[in-house]
Structures are given as structure tokens and as C-alpha cells.
Structure 1
Amino acid sequence: MYANEAELLNVAMFGTTSKEWKKSNPEKALSGLNIRDFADVPQLTVLANLESHNADLIRQGLPPKERILKLRELAIIQLKSLRNINFTYPIESPHISPFSNQNHVDNSLKDLLSESPKKDMDE
């Protein structure tokens, strides 16, 4: 149950599952890193918020397909808001990140909103 929810949140936030990320980044995965290690502070903040919202959506009885759509939309809104803040401290991941580019993440999430959720998320 928890692994499925973590993957649902990964897809909502990053547009991919951890398994897909590991396939695309085998050297990083072998060194013990995971997709969330490459998130910056705004992404991690949004991810924490998505976890809370997901719990509420589960309590409301929404199926995974509906939850992921709502969570994707929420991620876009929150990331845009956080990206407009001028932080006085570094917010980047200490790792080189394929997700550190704001436009890549925002565009990826917008594209995902128009797609059907992955089959394994429908269960």
C-alpha cells in the first residue's frame, strides 16, 4: 500500500515512477540515490504537501486515477507559487538534477495532466 502511494506521488510530482527513474539513471541508482534525492527545496515542500492532500483524498474515497489528477494540478499551482519567491538561501539539490529546471517540471506536469494516469496507478 505505502509503496503504491509513494509511486503515485512520484508520478504526480516528477512525472515518472522510481522504477522508471532507476532504469533511466542506473549509475545514480547503483550509488544509492533515488529520484527524490534530486529534488530541490520547493519540490520537496510540494511533495510533503501532496502527501497530506493525498491522505485527505484517500479518506474521501477517491480512486487513484482521480487522486493523481488532482495532485498533479496541485503540484503545478504550488510549484509556480514557490518558484516566484526570492529565497535568501540556496534551494537547489546538492545533486545534479534532471528535475532542477523549473520549466522542465512545470511543463512535464502540464503534459501529464492531459494524459491518462499509468495503468499501475489505476489499481
Structure 2
Amino acid sequence: MSKKNTLVLGASLNSDRYSNMAILRLCENAIEVKAFGMKKGTVCGIEIATELQPYQNIHTVTLYLNPKRQEAYYDYILDLNPTRVIFNPGTENPEFYKLLNEASINYEVACTLVLLSTNQY
């Protein structure tokens, strides 16, 4: 599996949340992970940032924010210029798809956990 540096947007410290599970699975797959969420803490040794960081070389942004909450991050994600954005279940957002298309950024409506478990990440 290639190194696809990933930003988990909407990261949670709650082990029952899918964003938390995604961080763990990404770590297990030796993928470099950055995380942004509302509460500081660590998951699998990954520090969850509560302020947006100007990350470099982000391949994938995987979203765990509902469409309304995503609006505040459109410019940030576009500025990161990732190779792709993954819209996990419940995060589907046609308005944002249009902006990503205009910026020539790929997106997938998929589940990060499924992609990882089926070696399609």
C-alpha cells in the first residue's frame, strides 16, 4: 500500500466514533495521519489538532463532518490541494463536489474503513 498521507477532519477521541476507528486503521496500515477535531487528545499516538494547520503533502482528506459543518472548511481543504477527498456515509455534499471539481480535486463517496479493509484505499 502506498503512503497516502491522510487528514481526518472531524476526528474524535470517542472510540465508538468512525473517525476514531479510521485513525486506528490508518495507523495499522502505516499511513501517515493528521487529525483535526473539536477536542485535543491523542488516538494511536496521533495528536488531534483543534486549530487548522497548514499541512503539506496531504494526499487524502477523509471527512467526518456533516455537510453544514463542512462549509467552514471548504477554503482550507481546497488550499491543502489534496489528491482526493473522501465523503464518508452521512457527509455527502453535492455543493462541495462542485467546488472540488472546479479545483480538479478528486473525491469519492465511500467509507474509509471499507476502503482500508478491502485494500482499495
Superposition TM-score tier, normalisation by shorter sequence: under 0.3
User: So what's the TM-score if we normalise by structure 1?
Assistant: 0.27
Higher RCO structure, 1 or 2 (CA under 8 Å, sep 6+): 1
**Higher strand fraction (1 or 2):** 2
**Higher helix fraction (1 or 2):** 1
Structure ID, larger Rg: 1
